[in-house]
Amino acid sequence: MFEDKLNHASLLDGGLLSGARMQRFLHNDVASLELKLAKAKSGNKLIAIDGVFSMDGDTAPLDELSSCAQKHKAWLMVDDAHGFGVLGKNGGGSSEYFGLDQQQLPILMATFGKGLGTFGAFVAGSNALIETLIQFSRSYIYTTAMPPSIAASTRAGLRLLQTESWRRQHLAELISYFTHEAGLLNLPLMKSNTAIQPLLIGDTDAALALSQALEANGFWVSAIRPPTVPAGSARLRITLSAAHSKEQVERLLQTLAKLML
């Protein structure tokens, strides 16, 4: 198994649970992955990666990763928890954004707990893959099935996804407004054009203090700190959503400027 250094904890734990030999490559570095793939002796290779990195907000170069996977006869699997429902013209997520078909992206999974606002997850792939998971995936077989009420809520969310594209447009506008204005204010933005917009603070106590000061001003922005992220890279994780208004984002920017500058 080949995993990006910054993969979500669930991908790392899943890799350990699989019993496969795990190798981690440098974040979003296809050359680093390629080097490891070229040295791998096993015939069965799986590359697993986040579509949108949950603590950084940047996206994986899935087009390049897909070519690399095909060249080395490896499977590519994407965890699109933060892409599904948001990225792509129809909210189909990272695979739609990059225009990848099933051959180019054989294993796509995403959760319903982020963009869709419900609970649970899905895996999409070939019939052989899905049948294998149903028959052999112990963590799936021995977990209580999703309650029908949750499935119904998820279906309602999927219908909104298909019929109310203005939500995605509004979110895209908030993201570009936020990044543009934060850039003008010289706030320590990280390289992200998704709804996850972290501000790099560095010091853990400073990040916590800022998060508390924001809360006192009516904003819920969590401080992400080690060990969730590398030492010295504590950050404020701002997550924009379609439910926010431009005025709220404007006030957030003013408050950040007041507290940080």
Q: Which is nearer to ligand PLP, 119 or 177 (CB)?
A: 119
Supply the minimum distance, in Å, between the C-beta of residue 197 and ligand PLP. 15
Q: Looking up tokens 């029908």, which residue turns up? A: 148
Supply the minimum distance, in Å, between the C-beta of residue 249 and ligand PLP. 22
Binding site for ligand PLP (CB under 6 A): 8, 10, 50, 54, 79, 81-82, 111, 113, 121
Q: How many CA atoms does the CB half-sphere of 208 hold within 13 Å?
A: 5
Question: Which amino acid is present at 11?
Answer: L
Supply the minimum distance, in Å, between the C-beta of residue 51 and ligand PLP. 8
Distance CA 142, CA 155 (A): 24
Three-state SS for 94? helix
Distance CA 135, CA 81 (A): 24
Supply the minimum distance, in Å, between the C-beta of residue 122 and ligand PLP. 11
Supply the minimum distance, in Å, between the C-beta of residue 208 and ligand PLP. 22
Under DSSP, the state recorded for 70 is H
Q: E-strand spans in the chain?
A: 2-4, 23-25, 46-50, 75-79, 107-111, 121-124, 196-202, 222-224, 234-239
| CA 205 and chain centroid, separation | 26
Q: Which is nearer to ligand PLP, 57 or 106 (CB)?
A: 57
Q: Which is nearer to ligand PLP, 121 or 253 (CB)?
A: 121
Distance CA 85, CA 108 (A): 13
Q: Which is nearer to ligand PLP, 10 or 204 (CB)?
A: 10
Q: Which is nearer to ligand PLP, 50 or 58 (CB)?
A: 50
Q: Which is nearer to ligand PLP, 75 or 177 (CB)?
A: 75
Supply the minimum distance, in Å, between the C-beta of residue 162 and ligand PLP. 21
Quick count: other Cβ atoms within 10 Å of Cβ 205?
Answer: 11
Report the alpha-carbon angle 199-204-210, nearest 5: 55
